[in-house]
């Protein structure tokens, strides 16, 4: 079912870009866990728009309102429902789109699925805005994981043709995450970050947009978590990460690069160090046979350029079939990648917490 | 749950490499559908080992035995259970592996998950052999889909550093699949196929292995199939494809390449041709907002090199922590990619049939 | 998972008696369906407290607020989220209960499950109040079913030792439901209804409470809906109906009575009438092998007496183990059965709609 | 899905009465658990036909063959697949039934669902024979539960109009189960057992059949297991028990009787005895708010009389609508209740193990 995810910790996401509210229901959390709501808000702020000159100036009031599941700041075993009211919606902008689908948006596919009854305003429930409840759920799951010594962090691995350093797949750790979190632009190599920002500016100035890659790591992950065949870490993490609009690819460990390697290059030898068995390299991205090896879980996902661009595009009227020239009004993120970083962390947190709790 | 997949058509896979048998249960198939078992066998033969000089000479008797669900050659509404007996198992080869995990195999992770009680013989239920029942289920689902005009085909997109042509994402069709099926080595460009075969030979001669990429297309797909957020085509196809051992990455449409593109390059304009609305290009891989657009669904997945290589590797004894030099006996596929081609088609077929029926 | 139900139409219920709000998320509804919200409100009013002299005088403002899923009064394919704010909560009443569990309430079991972190106020998420979102979802599903000619109706089959007539299992129809709906006390035989009301009054006057049985019928049900083994109508209806607090038993058709019958008495002979095949009697309650036979689906469920009574009861302090005399303050329904009638209809509607849509 | 059950321990059942084999796949069992297969066989023998003069003389060879999941007698973490070959099938007996449905059988409903493609031979996958794999799975789960101190036992509570004593809902224990297991006819009061046997004989002599009630208890159940709303013990146990063909009703604790009681009679007061909190009576059947209270879980289910009787019955030809006189050949159990006793225990074991492991 479209809006549900998880087995033991179950997440339900609802809402449309311009509905009364959007929100999440999270069931299966252990009772008695104290949630730090300031930390939740800080996490969600990383996703919120209007943070800087690269982001859409729309000011969403992403204030989370807890409807259930919390008593005296602690989980009570009942599902948490959290909502975010949609206060800043200008539905007038979207009238024409009902019949003239925007390229690379869900408009046409949604129209075909729902016989035109889909909510077109702001992309309806296909909107990137639905990642706000995802981030709420992820922030909660992350706190649960941190209580078990598991940390999740991500950075921008590339924007357009400019790449950041990769995480050190063997040694990446909590301190690396903290360093990235302290930066306004979440990269490892700030010099590369400057070039990335330039790619975004250039796209913006040209009425265009640009994509990128996000790399995410899970550290402190115990060995033995996961399952083979259909329920492994790769199956579930990918299923969650593709829930973020604009993700078009995912790879674990050496990923696509491993397809170009010899076995003798790609295989990670086992060694024993200080009484702990680990691998010398980490091309397997911390996952063997769908199960965690105890090494950092590493994955990267590809984010396509923002579909909404200022340039004129070609489309057709769904009803009449007539060609149309489409110019998308409003102001949009020229690059969604920076705001997608916490979303990727959130998706990973939801999956890992579901296995662990 | 590890061995189950699907919502309306539900697949359960069981068995280990050296258990009495492996098999699949498929529930939810429409009753009264006549299955062409010769076609099923032909499909499964594409996955079977020992086909040519590039593949492991082990001769598995992959004869499928139907235990239930079929009456007079037709589905009867009860679940189909199909088994394949494991006749050619030499468990002696695997004794040492219990305590000394093979690099890039599931041995260590499985040991940690199951406290050493996992079936190590032939990789247990982590074995690539489990793709035989997957292919059985896929072959059945494919026949169902063909009855609705939907065809699925795949080819080797690369081996090591040698790449085939890509499918024409806009115009790929049934005839393209038939052409590839008629070839002993499933590529579009036979010249490149020759170079690929050379890469495999070279790896084999060096006691090494090599990976590759498989590209898969679904044609005849109606628009409007799928869901946003957690239950879209990308979420489900990736969840199924990562069920094939050795897959380490997946991308849809332009995938990782789209992360390096501008919006104006990546966006696929809509046009109307002969009364049909379609896109001019197909960077979106036939999926927008998790829902089919009516264009061919295109995805590629990365297959790591076969973990079993003849070269000596480093490992440790799990119990003692002592370093060990490991030489894996037996004869293994120097490249699993050719045999994985039908597995990828099967995974896609299972997902699409689950949506359609 | 506790708060989720359904396969194709998926219901998620959240909230506690004294949380900010309670609510439901319904996913999988067909798009473009116009919901008659006045009819929804009328349905929910049948469950609301304070309707008459037999019911608790607490006045809950059961106004439903739609947060998502509806555009211009019609479903848009996105999940509906509906909430009901909890405005009339007096948490002070419940302070002592945290450590001294009320007999026949969930207090003790919930304490044991959640290590005392459960929300004790008003019964938390174990409260009968959670049937309000259930009724909302049921009312929506009922309208969907009515669009396909399926009607669901229920009546009080007994209160304490006083029994109403049973539905005519063969001929029960829509008009029977309308007659019952027009009455302030939902019974077939009003004379018996008077005696039932007397049983409730007597219990109330004695500071006691009383239980009863509700009989429910589904008419217009097409033959061939359901599944054998684990996913039949009986499996799913019972799983949903036990979601209503206080239900302690369920039977289909002749139910427990059939256990006392001979096969020749219980078997329903097939006949053909006006070209339609049906059974002459309906001891099978419209379900054979988990699948609808086309005859009315009939089931009855047993509702225990309201656990909250004014009489002094024995309990213990969970922490100290010391015996306590417990007197439950506040005013409670001496009999929950009349208000449970629409809840039972709602549970049935959710199940049947899940099969049909 | 029809053939699947469970969340953490997942059971898949397949096969038809006259298919090559029937069987079960059980996934999610902890690895390293040693299964006592003789005990499994002894458990399954209680369900097998042909045991005594009251049961059908058909001799099924219910030998279980393990295809996967067991290494050296222990679970290995991979799914167990167990099959039972169907060796004694006489399909000729069933030819006419395709078009003339047997009263109280699934024939008509299955025909309508599957457009006549259902397997009519022996009832297909609606056959009571499918309870053999259920019992296999139940026997395995029971051994798991016993390792945690949880025991499950059942007895015949009534046959036709003759009733056995009920379990002492407060004090029922393991020794009670052992006593019943030692008897050829599983009742508490052997005198009543004799009368019950007489009811069965009488029915048999008259070419008729008779139903009954089975009472089941779970002892050693820790408090705090289960969930409110849709995933409680009552929801899940009922969903499993209705998977046994011929079950038409279920009640927990005082069940339907509680509907006739006052709150002051039905409520179970809490007391503390030897430092343990328990209830003085057990009308709640060990379940409050869907969660175990620590008291014995008690439920009863109603079994309808065997549909197959020797007496002539009325039916119609589905194709022509013409009336037919039906005489069912072969020899059938005049009462299925004795053989259903282990099936009920098995269903309970599967549910409880799913919660506990």
Q: What are the sequence ranges of the domains in chain D?
A: 4-356
CB contact under 8 A, C232 and D209: no
Question: What percent of chain D has pLDDT above 70?
Answer: 94
Let me know if domain B4-356 sits in CATH 3.60.150.10.
yes
Are the beta carbons of D223 and C108 closer than 8 angstroms? yes
CA distance D287 to D226: 9
Q: Is A98 on the interface with C (CB under 8 A)?
A: no
Give Cα D110 distance to the centre of its chain: 21
Q: Give me the residue from D5, D213, D264 closest to C259, CB to CB.
A: D213
Chains C–D, number of C-beta pairs less than 8 Å apart: 388
**pLDDT of res. C56:** 63
- pLDDT recorded at residue A11: 97
Q: What is the pLDDT of residues D229-262, one digit of tens each?
A: 999 999 999 999 999 999 999 999 999 999 999 9
Between B248, B271, B294, which is nearest A258 by CB?
A: B248
Q: Which of C1, C20, C66 sits opposite A20 (nearest CB)?
A: C66
CA–CA–CA angle B286, B287, B288 (5° rounding): 130
Nearest CA in chain D to C294: D109
A290 pLDDT higher than 60:
yes
Determine the Cα–Cα distance for residues A312 and A329; give it in Å rounded to an integer. Answer: 10
Could you tell me which of C174, C111, C179 has the C-alpha nearest to residue C145?
C174
Interface residue A5 vs chain B (CB under 8 A): yes
pLDDT at A330: 77
Residue B272 sits at the vertex; the CA angle it makes with B269 and B273, to the nearest 5 degrees, is 120
Q: Which of A112, A125, A284 is nearest residue B104 as measured by Cβ atoms? A: A284
Touching subunits of B (3+ CB pairs, under 8 Å) are A, D
A271 with B239: Cβ contact below 8 A: no
Which chain B residues are within 8 Å of A263, Cβ to Cβ?
104, 203, 208-211, 305-309, 311
Q: Do C209 and D288 touch (CB under 8 A)?
A: no
| CA B179, chain centre distance (Å) | 20
Instruction: Write the residue in D112, D211, D323 that is nearest to C272 by C-beta.
Output: D323
Tokens linked to A20 = 């009364």
- How many Cβ atoms are within 10 Å of A175's Cβ, its own excluded? 11
pLDDT of residue B56: 63
H helices of D182-228, in order, are 190-205
- Determine the residue among C127, C260, C320, C324 to mutate to test chain D binding: the one whose Cβ has the most chain D Cβ atoms within 10 Å: C260
C350 touching D (Cβ < 8 Å)? no
The 10s digit of each residue's pLDDT in B198-247 is: 999 999 999 999 999 999 999 999 999 999 999 999 999 999 999 999 99
Binding-face residues of A in 99-118 toward B, CB within 8 A: 101, 103-110, 112-114
Task: State the Cα–Cα distance between residues C67 and C214, nearest whole angstrom.
Answer: 33
pTM of the predicted model, to two decimals?
0.97
Give the pLDDT confidence score for residue D292 in this predicted structure. 98
pLDDT score, position A97: 72
Banded model confidence at residue D76, pLDDT cuts 50, 70, 90: very high
Q: List D residues 18-77 in contact with B (Cβ-Cβ < 8 A).
A: 19-23, 25, 27-28, 31-32, 65-69, 71, 74-77
Question: Are D83 and B67 a contacting pair at CB < 8 A?
Answer: yes
pLDDT of D1: 52
Chain B residues lying within 8 Å of A138, measured CB to CB = none
Q: What is the distance, to the nearest Å, from the Cα of residue A291 to the centroid of all Cα atoms in its chain?
A: 22
Q: Which pLDDT does position D50 carry in this prediction?
A: 73
Rounded Cα distance between A36 and A43, Å, is: 11
To the nearest whole Å, the CA of D59 is away from the closest chain C CA by: 23
Residue with tokens 């396969």: C7
- Residue C104 and residue D266: Cβ atoms within 8 Å? yes
D234, D270, D277: residue with CB nearest C242: D234
Query: How many Å from the N-terminal Cα to the C-terminal Cα in chain D?
Result: 22
Which chain C residues have a beta carbon less than 8 Å from that of A24?
none
Q: What confidence score (pLDDT) does residue B62 get? A: 78
Strands (E), chain C: 4-5, 10-14, 21-27, 64-68, 70-71, 74-75, 80-85, 151-159, 162-163, 212-219, 247-252, 270-273, 276-279, 287-288, 291-292, 297-303, 313-316, 323-326
Question: Which residue in D25, D71, D118 is closest to B76 by CB distance?
Answer: D118
pLDDT > 80? residue B54: no
Q: What is the pLDDT of residue B60?
A: 53
Give contacts of B 195-224 with D, CB under 8 A: none
Measure in Å the smallest separation between the Cα of B41 and chain D Cα atoms. Answer: 19
Q: DSSP code of B210?
A: B
Helix or strand holding residue B298 (H, E):
strand B297-303
pLDDT of residue A332: 86
pLDDT grade for B332, boundaries at 50, 70 and 90: confident
Are C111 and C118 within 8 A, CB to CB? yes
- Considering only CB atoms, A32 lies closest to which of C22, C77, C115, namely C115
- Going by pLDDT thresholds of 50, 70 and 90, the confidence category of residue D330 is confident
- The reply to whether residue B263 touches residue A315, judged by beta carbons under 8 angstroms, is no
Low-confidence ranges of chain C (pLDDT < 50): none
Of B27-41, C54-68, D266-280, give the lowest mean pLDDT range.
C54-68
- Asked if A118 and C76 come within 8 Å (Cβ–Cβ), the reply is yes
Q: Which residues of D touch C103 (CB under 8 A)?
A: 267-270, 279
Band of residue D116 on the pLDDT scale cut at 50, 70, 90: very high
> For residue A58, what pLDDT band results from cuts at 50, 70 and 90?
low
The pLDDT of residue D58 is above 80: no
* Contact state of D83 with B66 under an 8 Å Cβ cutoff: no
Which residue from B67, B77, B124 is facing D21, i.e. has the nearest CB?
B67
- A182-231: per-residue pLDDT in tens? 999 999 999 999 999 999 999 999 999 999 999 999 999 999 999 999 99
Residues A29-41: tens digit of each pLDDT? 999 999 999 999 9
Q: What is the pLDDT of residue A2?
A: 74
pLDDT: which is higher, D54 or B213: B213
pLDDT, position A153: 98
Contact list, A21 vs chain C (CB under 8 Å)? 67-68, 81
* Residue-level pLDDT at C49: 85
Q: State the Cα–Cα distance between residues D322 and B244, nearest whole angstrom.
A: 54
**Mean pLDDT score of chain B, rounded to an integer?**
94
Chain A residue whose CA is closest to B115: A224
Interface mutation target, options D2, D6, D8, D14, chain B, most CBs of B under 10 Å: D14
The shortest C-alpha distance from B98 to chain A (Å) reads: 14
pLDDT at A52: 67
Does D192 contact chain B (CB < 8 Å)? no
* Mutant choice from C8, C15, C19 vs A, greatest count of A C-beta within 10 A: C19
Q: What is the average per-residue pLDDT within A95-110?
A: 90
Shortest alpha-carbon distance between residue D70 and chain B (Å): 8
Q: What is the arithmetic mean of pLDDT over B336-351?
A: 98
Contacting residues of C for A19, CB less than 8 Å apart: 67-69, 78
Give the whole-angstrom CA distance, residue D324 versus residue A298: 69
Which of C101, C161, C247 is facing D270, going by the closest CB pair?
A: C101
CA distance C52 to chain A (A): 30
pLDDT value of position A59: 58
Contact between A296 and A172 under an 8 Å Cβ cutoff? The reply is yes
CA angle C305, C311, C314 (to 5 degrees): 95
Mutate to test the interface with A, among C17, C22, C79 (most CBs of A within 10 A): C79
How far is CA D89 from its chain centroid?
23
Nearest partner of D101 among D123, D131, D127, judged by Cα: D123
Residues 123-162 in C contacting D (C-alpha not used; CB under 8 Å) = 125-126, 130, 158, 160-161
CB proximity list for C331: less than 8 A, separation 6 or greater: C56, C57, C58
């Amino acid at each position: 079912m479209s809006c549900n995810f998880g087995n033991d910790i179950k997440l339900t996401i609802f809402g449309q870009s311009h509905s009364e509210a959007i929100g999440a229901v999270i069931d299966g959390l252990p009772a008695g866990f104290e949630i730090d709501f300031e930390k939740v808000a800080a996490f969600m702020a990383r996703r919120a728009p209007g943070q800087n000159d690269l982001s859409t100036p729309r000011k969403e009031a992403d204030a989370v309102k807890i409807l259930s599941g919390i008593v005296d700041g602690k989980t009570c075993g009942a599902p948490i429902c959290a909502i975010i009211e949609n206060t800043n919606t200008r539905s007038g902008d979207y009238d024409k789109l009902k019949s003239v689908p925007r390229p690379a948006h869900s408009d046409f596919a949604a129209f075909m699925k729902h016989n035109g009854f889909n909510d077109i305003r702001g992309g309806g429930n296909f909107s990137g805005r639905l990642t706000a409840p995802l981030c709420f759920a992820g922030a909660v799951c992350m706190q649960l994981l941190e209580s078990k010594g598991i940390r999740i962090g991500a950075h921008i691995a590339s924007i357009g043709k400019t790449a950041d350093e990769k995480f050190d797949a063997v040694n990446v750790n909590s301190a690396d995450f903290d360093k990235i979190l302290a930066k306004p632009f979440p990269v490892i190599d700030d010099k590369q970050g400057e070039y990335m920002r330039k790619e975004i500016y250039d796209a913006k100035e040209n009425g265009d947009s640009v994509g990128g890659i996000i790399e995410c790591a899970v550290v402190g992950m115990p060995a033995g978590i996961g399952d083979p065949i259909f329920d492994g870490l790769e199956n579930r993490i990918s299923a969650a990460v593709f829930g973020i609009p604009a993700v078009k690819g995912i790879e674990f460990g050496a990923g696509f690069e491993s397809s170009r390697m010899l076995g003798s290059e790609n295989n990670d030898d086992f060694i024993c160090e200080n009484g702990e068995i680990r691998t010398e390299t980490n091309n397997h991205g911390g996952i063997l046979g769908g199960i965690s090896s105890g090494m950092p879980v590493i994955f990267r996902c590809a984010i396509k350029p923002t579909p909404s661009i200022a340039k004129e595009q070609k489309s057709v009227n769904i009803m009449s079939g007539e060609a149309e020239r489409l110019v998308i009004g409003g102001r949009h993120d020229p690059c969604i990648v920076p705001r997608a970083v916490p979303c990727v962390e959130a998706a990973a947190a939801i999956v890992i917490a579901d296995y662990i709790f």
